[in-house]
Chain A
């Protein structure tokens, strides 16, 4: 599947679903219920996370097992904005303090919450918090040449540490329960069908933008260096490149993308809690990419949507078995389909020998 087809499917699909939700009467067989709109929006938010993972893993060889942390941080930044949007409509009717703070006897708004009543500031934080954390983490890790399994382990540690921190009530982020009961976004009621459709389309637009940006990056000369770093890092050094700079750039870009994914996810699912930091979430996102096809970008979207659709269906029928099914799927793909679904689709299209400029990795 080409990039163009993927963009068409994502954007066209989002618009089509929205039309079928808004313009077709509920009685009709063609009507798409609103919960399905939000479900689709959730899948596309995950797809954004998957593209972010593919960017660092597929092209930079950095196997992050903590990328859901960036996703969740973006989600929390958005969640904080949505909490402040509730205003006096909370259970306690406090104009400044969210319900959980009143409940926990907060006297005033913690410093970390300042400014989150402002949409512009919140959006800035959606980008900045994951970005800056990734910058610091990446700078330390890549500079000291931590890579491979060790890097994967510390990314797990990072997301686990955040999980523990966000569970604590005294951190001021709603503890165990997280942030929920959102009412408005940008002053528009969140539960309205049109808002739901708008969010789905916005997610499709951001996903498309991320795909195009990622493709630009990986097909540029920068991307060629990055792929060289992925396969033969030490060789690039002897050519005068500094791999740590390449990794850092793509790492931060990827974290910001993941953060945007999280920010779009939260209003559509209506809640963000510390569970989003759980190491299993990050591992799942890697599985989506592996299933779709590592290093193909389009495959990341495909994998995220298909696996999550499967998850929705599966957990409806046999919830206890989902993790086993996911594990089996991962093992199957690793053993039988190393190129993922994209590898399967791409095979017949292989050009004949001798005529061969190598297939572009991102096509």
Chain B
């Protein structure tokens, strides 16, 4: 286990995190350090624990042991989901999860950073800054022509983008993106890689993805998870030549 370097530029530090479900270890003393401003790709076979790792970071799952330190010294394992969201950690789910009965516009409106308390939302009127923000995001995620459509009627790929848009609207410091290009065409995949790189200009990102071409296109440091811990870490060329990684992927 590495000793924590509390550099001011460490944004997220997972320290020996373990999670068991009925005796099955989904995460096994997982440690991982993410620098501020970094984009990290996380790969690994099905069941490696990638989604569980995001569950732990966002407060959905409480680890049995270990710490998750965000920023200087906030231990995320003590906080619940809204509190963690409030700190500036946003999440896109593996299965796209948008608010289906609402329009694309309203989905973004609800995601916009702002006061979340009922006493505010009861009286809230949409401000011109809010409209401008939503317009800008619609442009980024290329859903401008679909603003009035019910989110539930969007295609799979469009829902993926809407969810990325909702992430942007939250203005988080850290984005956790679980399988963003599943179900996308090659062209859409390419655009998504571009979009994530653009987002990474101002924010830190963790992307989980199976699509190797996509990971290669991102061109960032890769962490390979296997059976709940880090198997290998480095550039995409480094990890794809690592014999242990080859064995895990080919041995299946």
Interface of A with B (CB < 8 Å)?
217, 220-222, 224-225, 227-228, 231-232, 234-242, 245-246, 249, 356-358, 361
Highest count of chain B CB atoms <10 Å: which of A232, A239, A358: A239
A224 contacts across to B, CB distance below 8 A: 99, 102, 106, 109-110
B222 to chain A, nearest CB (A): 25
Per DSSP, chain A at the interface is helix
Does B187 make an interface contact (CB < 8 A)?
no
Count of interface residues, chain B, beta-carbon cutoff 8 Å: 34
B86 contacts across to A, CB distance below 8 A: 240
Which residues of B90-137 have CB atoms within 8 Å of chain A's CB atoms?
A: 90-91, 93, 97, 99-103, 106, 109-111, 116-118, 121-124, 126
Do A357 and B100 touch (CB < 8 A)? no
Do B102 and A241 touch (CB < 8 A)? no
Nearest CB in chain A to that of B92: its residue: A238
Interface of B with A (CB < 8 Å)?
58, 60, 80-82, 85-86, 90-91, 93, 97, 99-103, 106, 109-111, 116-118, 121-124, 126, 148-150, 153, 166, 170
- The number of residue pairs between A and B whose CB atoms lie closer than 8 Å in the complex comes to 84
Complex formed: what's the CA distance from A241 to B121 in Å? 11
Nearest CB in chain B to that of A217: its residue: B122
B58 contacts across to A, CB distance below 8 A: 238
A-B contact pairs, 28 of them (CB 8 A): A217-B122, A220-B121, A220-B122, A220-B123, A221-B124, A221-B126, A222-B121, A222-B122, A224-B99, A224-B110, A225-B121, A231-B100, A235-B97, A235-B99, A237-B80, A238-B58, A238-B81, A240-B82, A240-B85, A240-B170, A241-B116, A245-B118, A249-B118, A356-B148, A356-B149, A358-B101, A358-B148, A358-B149
A235 contacts across to B, CB distance below 8 A: 93, 97, 99
Contacts known (A222-B122, A240-B85, A356-B148); A227 close to B117, Cβ less than 8 A: no
Complex formed: what's the CA distance from A281 to B120 in Å? 35
Do B101 and A238 touch (CB < 8 A)? no
Do A238 and B91 touch (CB < 8 A)? yes
A237 contacts across to B, CB distance below 8 A: 80-82, 85
A251 to chain B, nearest CB (A): 12
Complex formed: what's the CA distance from A80 to B148 in Å? 52
Do A239 and B118 touch (CB < 8 A)? no
With A228-B102, A240-B170 already in contact, 9 other A-B pairs whose C-beta atoms are closer than 8 Å = A221-B110, A222-B124, A224-B106, A224-B110, A225-B121, A238-B90, A239-B111, A241-B116, A358-B102
B168 to chain A, nearest CB (A): 12
A217 contacts across to B, CB distance below 8 A: 122
Complex formed: what's the CA distance from A63 to B118 in Å? 21
Do A361 and B101 touch (CB < 8 A)? yes
Complex formed: what's the CA distance from A242 to B60 in Å? 14
B50 to chain A, nearest CB (A): 17
Nearest CB in chain B to that of A354: its residue: B149
B146 to chain A, nearest CB (A): 10
Complex formed: what's the CA distance from A360 to B97 in Å? 21
| CB-contact partner of B121 in A221, A234, A356, A357, under 8 A | A221
Nearest CB in chain B to that of A235: its residue: B97
B152 to chain A, nearest CB (A): 9
Contacts known (A217-B122, A238-B91); A358 close to B99, Cβ less than 8 A: no
Nearest CB in chain A to that of B111: its residue: A239
Do A238 and B85 touch (CB < 8 A)? yes
Nearest CB in chain A to that of B117: its residue: A245
Complex formed: what's the CA distance from A361 to B150 in Å? 12
| CB-contact partner of B124 in A220, A232, A361, under 8 A | A220
B170 contacts across to A, CB distance below 8 A: 239-240
Do B150 and A358 touch (CB < 8 A)? yes
Complex formed: what's the CA distance from A356 to B86 in Å? 33
B99 contacts across to A, CB distance below 8 A: 224, 227-228, 231-232, 235
B124 contacts across to A, CB distance below 8 A: 220-222
Nearest 3 A-B pairs (CB), nearest first?
A: A240-B85, A237-B81, A357-B148
B116 contacts across to A, CB distance below 8 A: 239-242
B100 contacts across to A, CB distance below 8 A: 231-232
Complex formed: what's the CA distance from A67 to B178 in Å? 41
Complex formed: what's the CA distance from A217 to B124 in Å? 11
Complex formed: what's the CA distance from A170 to B12 in Å? 62
